[in-house]
Amino acid sequence: MKPAVFFLFILLLFSLKSYAIGISSPYLANNTIKLIKGQSTVYTITLQNPEDADIDVGVGYSGKIAKIIDYKEIYTLPAGKIDTQISFFINASEEAKVGDIYTVSYSIKPLSVKGEGTLPISTVISKKFDVEVIKDPNSFDMRLLWYYGGFAVALLVLVIFMWRRPRYKF
């Protein structure tokens, strides 16, 4: 390689500027939100821009039970701001069955850097979590009533049988 080409290559490497964004999301045990049938919740992620320039990002998501609250096609992350929030409304409908598991995925893609004339090279940051429909722990289970009721009737029959049986004297 000729020295002039090598010098231009090194100059090109040092002239590139990179930008970074971050995503902060709440901790989920087993990466799963557990909801009772008909219950809803809000899941919020925080976008962070530690850079000196504003960055536009696009947000994509999928999932039958999730919607972004106040959805925008492009979110502008102001320079140095580390608390831009995006909230998902998650609803386990009444038609869901106990044990159903839904996957919600979202992705963040940097689109452009304001005030710069550079060509942005970026990757998509993708994350996902599960939403599991669980049984209401406060609901009454009729099977338990039949189980304990049957046990009580069997115990009553045994007591009556023992009390009414003839007693033999030796």
pLDDT at 66: 92
| Inside any domain, residue 6 | no
Question: What is the secondary structure of 11-45 as a DSSP string?
Answer: HHHHH------EEE----GGGEEEEETT-EEEEEE
Per-residue buried b or exposed e for 135-155, using 16+ beta carbons within 10 Å of the residue's own CB: eeeeeeeeeeeeeeeeeeeee
pLDDT at 68: 92
| Inside any domain, residue 100 | yes
Tokens 């999730």 belong to 66
Three-state SS at 156:
helix
Longest CA–CA span in the chain (Å) reads 121
How far is Cα 103 from Cα 108, in angstroms, rounded to an integer?
A: 17
| Inside any domain, residue 164 | no
Average of per-residue pLDDT across 67-71: 91
What CATH number did the domain enclosing 71 receive? Answer: 2.60.40.10
How far is Cα 42 from Cα 135, in angstroms, rounded to an integer?
A: 20
Q: What is the pLDDT of residues 73-126, one digit of tens each?
A: 888 888 888 888 999 999 998 888 888 999 999 998 888 765 555 545 567 888
Q: Reply yes or no on whether the pLDDT at 40 is more than 90.
A: yes
Number of domains in the chain: 1
How far is Cα 98 from Cα 128, in angstroms, rounded to an integer?
A: 21
| Inside any domain, residue 82 | yes
Three-state SS at 129:
strand
CB 92 within 8 A of CB 39: yes
| Inside any domain, residue 78 | yes
Domain, as residue range, for 44: 19-136
The structure's pTM equals 0.67
Q: Reply yes or no on whether the pLDDT at 16 is more than 70.
A: no
| Inside any domain, residue 63 | yes
